[in-house]
Structure 1
């Protein structure tokens, strides 16, 4: 079986195994720091992967993404401040449990639910990606262009609260990606007379600026206004920290349903973990016999969003591996890592790099077990330590790391300036509710979309009609119109429900 060969391939590489252990710990810690998302941490660590073999590099960042999603629940439960957007729904019941002295029980519930959901999502990835890839191997340039357009339309319509702003964010990402040399005419375009622009903009400085520097600016602004983390006492009473067997049995159907919701949302590009968490929480509250108890601090209220937001992790890789289209910001960053190591993305990857891909899947399963153990036994300690470290020590270190990472990518001071400009741009985007996730994903996909578009026109005598002569292309276009149309219809409907408050706007983690 391929996954067994993947485990053999993984454990034959001791360095990769060591980095999986390290990634599980780093991800939990990073996720628990309010504002420092897993995507931001991965962006900072991409330069480290230049010096690692492909499996080690990909496994390291992939597991950080997984454990980082869980890590956000620690600060959500202990401090009522979600460490990542993915854990925004967890605080609804998690923090009330902490106020009752049941922080230990809430953290253990979150760790078990996260492991449950992530395992379901990973199994769907393992058995689903290969099946989808066997179909997409028949695709040509018109189908791939339709896939890219579907991704652009869906991402712009579902990331953020405004469809127009999401669309503009996507268009901006495409325009920035066009900077450089035209791939066919070899003429400079959008270079503004600067020689440095002719080689195009590198992904890493943009990632660091858009996500990390802009987030630092937001967090510094919060601290400047007097925002602080207040540490909560964790009860020494064993009963207050014990997640009992009857509670676990009661949560099993909740976790299973929520995991399936999260996995489905993960397959759709652009929705992300936070959407999955709120969707699962709302569905389980609707199904509950006593919905009035939800929000007062019950284990089901923690299990539902945590199993859903972690179940997103694996399925977001399905469109990446089967179609070459990232389903999330983290998947978009991983595309860069694949390309850095000379590994082409698309359905043929299961033929050209099958051992590597199943080794990555195996690393994901090992990482799930590791961060589950770390969270179950060490969650309270991690939360306590983070509360003791003042932001004035954390933020300058992150800023210096960004400068080093941006420079080391191409040993270019110009990239440091690009990162700084991207940081200002990302900060302004967040202030006016534009979508940094849509911008970055569009930037990553734009070159592939342009290539597929031009190839389609060159290979066909039908002109633009070529995109409407292929059945699969029509299916992708129709799906994009359906999803965006449904979102527009929902936005136009009058709603009397209070809008959920989400502390972070980057939903596509």
Structure 2
């Protein structure tokens, strides 16, 4: 099989292995810093990959994404502050254990469960990606546009608490993408006479501004960041308290395997992401638990379930990205940019032109799981203590300055720095107003491909827009988008009705 050949290649490439180990460490540290995310780290480090080999660049960022998902559990358990949105579910049972001086045991459970979940997701990805790619190769421009449309609608309506704000965020991403020259007529669009905009808005400064600067601005205005405290007793080396035995972990295994499948399924659906997977797995685990009353008070199963689901999302979320060019998450959107930077076009033809690269990337991901698992099992508590020694008032200015360097280094343009600053304020404002930055960035990345597919479809059609109704697969995806809005609206309406009845 190709995957075994790819594994042999990665294992015998010292430089590539070095990047994978570094990525595992960087991702875990960034994920453990309250308020920062793996997506922010990847956006900031993206310019560095300009000078790397394509496989090393992709593997480096891919493994950071994997490790960052796991790293969020460290902050959730030690600081009662989730490092990522998905680790908020881990916090429910992780922090009570830390308060009892068993944080090391909690982190060991999180580490083992994350490894199992991540491996499960990757195995399902490797086993099924060939079939998905073969199907994707049969899709024409009308079907591809319908897939893009469904992705826009699903991402915009599902991510976040408001359908209206989510769709508005997605629309903003589309508007930003059309700035520049028309790809067919070469006419200027929304450039406002600014020459630098004729080539369009660059991806790197937008991502650094939205994810890094926007997050820094938001966290600096969040007084909770300064109130994080941590008692050294929480990471006590008392072996009697923090030794994890097989008898203790064995009851977690059914929850881990079930949650891994839940996470893998949710990972294949664009726009849902690891946070939803973690909470769905936690809820299902508590429903099936023998002693549900222990959940929320330091149950090991309450850590195992969300962590397995959280990390199982990682591999399957690559399926729509690689086969259709549709990122299902913010990390996926940044990886699309990395592919494009190195001249690799993601989509149905990727497995024809670069299948070797894809399987080597999968192999790097599998090895990355082992790396962050080893580092996390033996060093998660140490990472947590080191993070605490760096004051936030020192950490955020360093990140702020690094962002300026990264934005300028991408193309050596001061205009990109200004784009990053504007994007940073936009990202901060969107967070304050509860708009969704992930929907904006994913739509920004998808819009060019969607426009190309739309124009090709209309050129093939003698009946204009009716071509999307006449093609069964295209019609099915269009109806899927409409159904997503309907069911999301109904779910929100039920939540509103329930909350009103409870308040009454």
- Structure 2 length normalisation: TM-score? 0.97
Tell me whether 247-256 or 107-116 shows the greater mean CA deviation.
247-256
2:396 match: 395
**Corresponding residue SS for 1:89:** helix
Q: How far, CA to CA, are the matches of 1:226 and 1:31 in structure 2?
A: 18
2:281 match: 280
1:243 match: 244
CA deviation string 1:360-399 (max 9, x = no partner): 0000000001101111000010001111111122111111
Cα RMSD for the two superposed structures: 1.4
Q: How far, CA to CA, are the matches of 1:236 and 1:21 in structure 2?
A: 26
CA contact (8 A) 1:5 1:355 kept: no
**Corresponding residue SS for 2:364:** helix
Tell me whether 474-483 or 254-263 shows the greater mean CA deviation.
474-483
Q: CA deviation at 1:125?
A: 1.0
Q: Counterparts of 1:134-173 in structure 2 under 5 Å?
A: 134-173=134-173
2:49 match: 49
CA contact (8 A) 1:272 1:312 kept: yes
Q: CA deviation at 1:225?
A: 8.1
CA contact (8 A) 1:231 1:384 kept: no
**Corresponding residue SS for 1:72:** helix
CA deviation string 1:300-355 (max 9, x = no partner): 00001100000000011000011110011101100011111111111221121111
Q: How far, CA to CA, are the matches of 1:498 and 1:344 in structure 2?
A: 47
1:507 match: none
Q: How far, CA to CA, are the matches of 2:10 and 2:340 in structure 1?
A: 20
1:492 match: 493
Q: How far, CA to CA, are the matches of 1:480 and 1:251 in structure 2?
A: 37
Tell me whether 13-22 or 373-382 shows the greater mean CA deviation.
13-22
Tell me whether 385-394 or 431-440 shows the greater mean CA deviation.
385-394
Could you list the runs of 5+ residues in structure 2 that have no partner in the other structure?
none
Could you list the runs of 5+ residues in structure 1 that have no partner in the other structure?
500-509
Q: CA deviation at 1:481?
A: 2.2
CA deviation string 1:94-125 (max 9, x = no partner): 00000111101100000000001000111111
1:72 match: 72
Q: Are residues 1:349 and 2:350 paired? A: yes
Q: CA deviation at 1:221?
A: 1.4
Q: CA deviation at 1:482?
A: 2.3
Q: How far, CA to CA, are the matches of 1:183 and 1:152 in structure 2?
A: 21
Q: How far, CA to CA, are the matches of 2:52 and 2:224 in structure 1?
A: 39
Q: How far, CA to CA, are the matches of 1:174 and 1:230 in structure 2?
A: 43
Q: How far, CA to CA, are the matches of 1:480 and 1:316 in structure 2?
A: 19
**Corresponding residue SS for 2:227:** coil
CA deviation string 1:400-440 (max 9, x = no partner): 11001100111100010110000001000000000000000
Tell me whether 41-50 or 212-221 shows the greater mean CA deviation.
212-221
2:333 match: 332
Q: CA deviation at 1:239?
A: 2.4
Q: CA deviation at 1:445?
A: 0.3
CA contact (8 A) 1:231 1:387 kept: no
Q: How far, CA to CA, are the matches of 1:232 and 1:474 in structure 2?
A: 59
Q: CA deviation at 1:8?
A: 2.5
CA contact (8 A) 1:79 1:231 kept: no
Runs of 4+ with >6 A deviation: 496-499
2:481 match: 480
- Structure 1 length normalisation: TM-score? 0.96
- CA gap of 1:184–1:279, structure 2 versus 1, over 3 A, is same
Q: Counterparts of 1:161-310 in structure 2 under 5 Å?
A: 161-223=161-223, 226-233=226-233, 234-310=235-311
CA contact (8 A) 2:34 2:225 kept: no
- CA gap of 1:111–1:134, structure 2 versus 1, over 3 A, is same
Q: How far, CA to CA, are the matches of 2:25 and 2:370 in structure 1?
A: 12
Tell me whether 88-97 or 289-298 shows the greater mean CA deviation.
289-298
